[in-house]
Structure 1
Amino acid sequence: MFNRIWALFQARNLESIRDRSSLIWNIFFPLALLVGFSVFFSGQGKVQYQIGVVGKWQQQSQWQPLWNTPYLSFDHYTDQKQAEKHLARHQLDLVVDPSHNRYWVNPKSPKSVMAEKVLEGVVKVPLTTAKLSSRPIRYVDWFLPGVLGMNVMFSGLWGVGYAIVRYRKNGVLKRLSATPVRPIEFLLAQVCSRLVLIMAITVILFICATLFLHLTMRGSVLVLFVIFMLGATSMISLGLLLASRSKSEELTAGLVNLISWPMMFLSQVWFSLEGAPHWLKYVADLLPLTQVIHSARQQMLFGTMSASDWLGLAYVAVFTVVCLGLGAWRFRWR
């Protein structure tokens, strides 16, 4: 019995060593995560509160204790309305105007209320609280589009990319190659099938969240449905591109993780990138999930979409067409 176990043990080790792509990936991916997190979250300490500053602030000596308080990050705004809008969206925790000794707080945000206490404790001048011109938004209202977008991403990438590689490895695609089915027909069938499932799940999640959490919905439900359908199609097309020729489940799983995890962190699913380095924001804007989640939030929370929002959705559509075209061109049955 021991000899059989030892023989199987050796065979599996040799198989793992000979699969060089998976072996390299198992080493590279944890190292890439470590380097990525060290770059994204480098610094002397974690920022606890993000504060927007309106007007001239360096010349106000009585506010100096606030500027010297550790673990606070400050963003300068020339447009007061823009700062208030970011505060209402939970992208800022507090907005201050040192020139007039006033500040804005979002009563729907626990972090904003705590930041107000910090402000009152360190600035020893009479302060006045100004009322937000836009309606404060609950964090759960801001959070829901991110959760729906994350579900669309994982369902699209794993549900299509990983499945096609498994079909190729098990010989299913080899059998289909002997039939009149063309690659583009097979890929379109995969896209449509997965798209119907993803959108059905998204609708169920949205209805349940609306009923039990009383979510804010100021825009068009139909437009919101189209936004998530476009996002789902883009993720499915990306999954098809990743699986167009790969025959290793381990390598495909690694590639999906390499794409999905940075996208999940940078697309503002859980938290805003307000105050992040500008180069990181540019990278985030290139991700299709960022545009989908941002447009969904605009539609749900404000009911309007700007020209830049529509341009972002157009970018997602072009991204989808390119990935589908490349996936169909690179696709191989064997």
Structure 2
Amino acid sequence: MTTPQTGPQHGPRAGAAGTFSPRPGAAPFGRMVLAQASMEARLMLRNGEQLLLAVVVPVVVLVAAVAGSDRLSLDLDHPAVDVFTPGVLALAVMSTSFTALAIATGFERRYGVIKRLGSSPLPRSGLLAGKVLALLLVQLLQLVVLSAVALGLGWSPEPGVAGVIGVLLIIAAGTAAFASLGLLVAGALRAEATLAAANLIYLLLMACGAVVLPATAYGGFEGLVQWLPSGALGEGMRDALIDGTIAWPAIAVLLIWTVLGAALSARTFKWE
């Protein structure tokens, strides 16, 4: 007859329900998404090129546009800083949601990061949610920095409650639209081609897409540029911060681009 051991036990501890502590298995979905978003945001801010696109370029554009507004001979209905600040905020959303996301995702595909994440407990929906949440975190930093610079240049916004809601809605719609388009470019092209295409599209939209300048500055092309995602984002931001209104037509245009970009991305995106 043997006697039971009463000494200390080592190894996994059995719980009351026959499980072990710590319990094996994946973390809760929300915790995985937050961890992924935190990592994505840190990587984005540590990358010099992406930090340049996210913060430095919009600040330079804002200061240069306000300082040189007299030489542009634009017929503006409001002070230059009030007109250019919403456009530069829209440019910041575009630079992060489209260009930075496309370039980062393209090189993640090249080095097999996306493929390995696809085989982890984090589902594809969680990976996408983590990337979008990281974009929103970086955009919050952009909003703080650019607003501080604009206030130093004399910006005095009074959007009211409707304007604040309009800003939040247009940022959300713009982030969704440009993120879907960025993933479309990154998933269909090689990393080097993605780098070139994303930067080229960014420059073209910044110059000709009615994001920084109002659509009225493009003369006969005013109606056309408002259908571009950049034009819709810029006009929606100006409506919210200058007129204090919610730009529902601009939001609708951005949602159309979101659906189009997401549908094409689902068909063409390659994980490696």
Give the TM-score normalised by structure 2: 0.64
Structure 2 residue aligned with 1:266 = 208
3-state SS of the aligned residue for 1:179? Answer: coil
Report the Cα distance in structure 1 between the residues aligned to 2:256 and 2:123, rounded to whole angstroms.
24
Structure 1 residue aligned with 2:256 = 318
Aligned residues of 1:143 and 1:269 also touching (Cα < 8 A): no
> Runs of at least 4 residues of structure 1 off by over 6 A?
none
Report the Cα distance in structure 2 between the residues aligned to 1:298 and 1:181, rounded to whole angstroms.
39
Q: State the one-letter code of the partner of 1:328.
A: A
Tell me: CA distance 1:295–1:275, structure 2 relative to 1, closer, same or farther (3 Å).
closer
Out of 130, 138, 141, the residue aligned to residue 197 of structure 1 is 138
Report the Cα distance in structure 2 between the residues aligned to 1:221 and 1:273, rounded to whole angstroms.
22
2:165 maps to 1:222: yes
Aligned residues: 200
Tell me: CA distance 1:252–1:292, structure 2 relative to 1, closer, same or farther (3 Å).
same
Aligned residues of 2:158 and 2:242 also touching (Cα < 8 A): yes
Q: State the one-letter code of the partner of 2:154.
A: L
Q: What is the CA RMSD across the aligned residues, in angstroms? A: 2.7
Q: Cα offset for 1:218?
A: 3.4
Report the Cα distance in structure 2 between the residues aligned to 1:299 and 1:160, rounded to whole angstroms.
26
3-state SS of the aligned residue for 1:164? Answer: helix
Unmatched 5+ stretches in structure 1: 1-46, 51-86, 91-135
Structure 1 residue aligned with 2:268 = 330
Structure 2 residue aligned with 1:106 = none
Report the Cα distance in structure 1 between the residues aligned to 2:256 and 2:156, rounded to whole angstroms.
31
3-state SS of the aligned residue for 1:243? Answer: helix
3-state SS of the aligned residue for 1:213? Answer: coil
Tell me: CA distance 1:168–1:312, structure 2 relative to 1, closer, same or farther (3 Å).
same
Unmatched 5+ stretches in structure 2: 1-70
Q: State the one-letter code of the partner of 2:90.
A: G
Report the Cα distance in structure 1 between the residues aligned to 2:154 and 2:217, rounded to whole angstroms.
29
Tell me: CA distance 1:170–1:197, structure 2 relative to 1, closer, same or farther (3 Å).
same
Q: Cα offset for 1:239?
A: 0.7
3-state SS of the aligned residue for 2:188? Answer: coil
2:236 maps to 1:298: no
Report the Cα distance in structure 1 between the residues aligned to 2:110 and 2:154, rounded to whole angstroms.
44
Structure 2 residue aligned with 1:171 = 112
Q: State the one-letter code of the partner of 1:225.
A: L
Aligned residues of 2:99 and 2:202 also touching (Cα < 8 A): no
Report the Cα distance in structure 2 between the residues aligned to 1:156 and 1:148, rounded to whole angstroms.
12
Structure label with greater radius of gyration: 1
Which structure is richer in relative contact order (CA contacts within 8 A, separation 6 or more)? 2
Aligned residues of 1:161 and 1:242 also touching (Cα < 8 A): yes
Report the Cα distance in structure 2 between the residues aligned to 1:332 and 1:275, rounded to whole angstroms.
39
Report the Cα distance in structure 2 between the residues aligned to 1:275 and 1:171, rounded to whole angstroms.
44
Matched ranges for 1:1-334 at <5 A = 90=76, 137-210=78-151, 213-219=154-160, 220-246=163-189, 248-274=190-216, 276=218, 278=220, 280-305=221-246, 309-334=247-272
Q: Cα offset for 1:194?
A: 1.7
3-state SS of the aligned residue for 2:245? Answer: coil
Report the Cα distance in structure 1 between the residues aligned to 2:224 and 2:85, rounded to whole angstroms.
23
Deviates more, 1:228-237 or 1:141-150: 228-237
Higher strand proportion, which one?
1
Q: Cα offset for 1:140?
A: 0.7
Higher helix proportion, which one?
2
Report the Cα distance in structure 1 between the residues aligned to 2:124 and 2:155, rounded to whole angstroms.
45
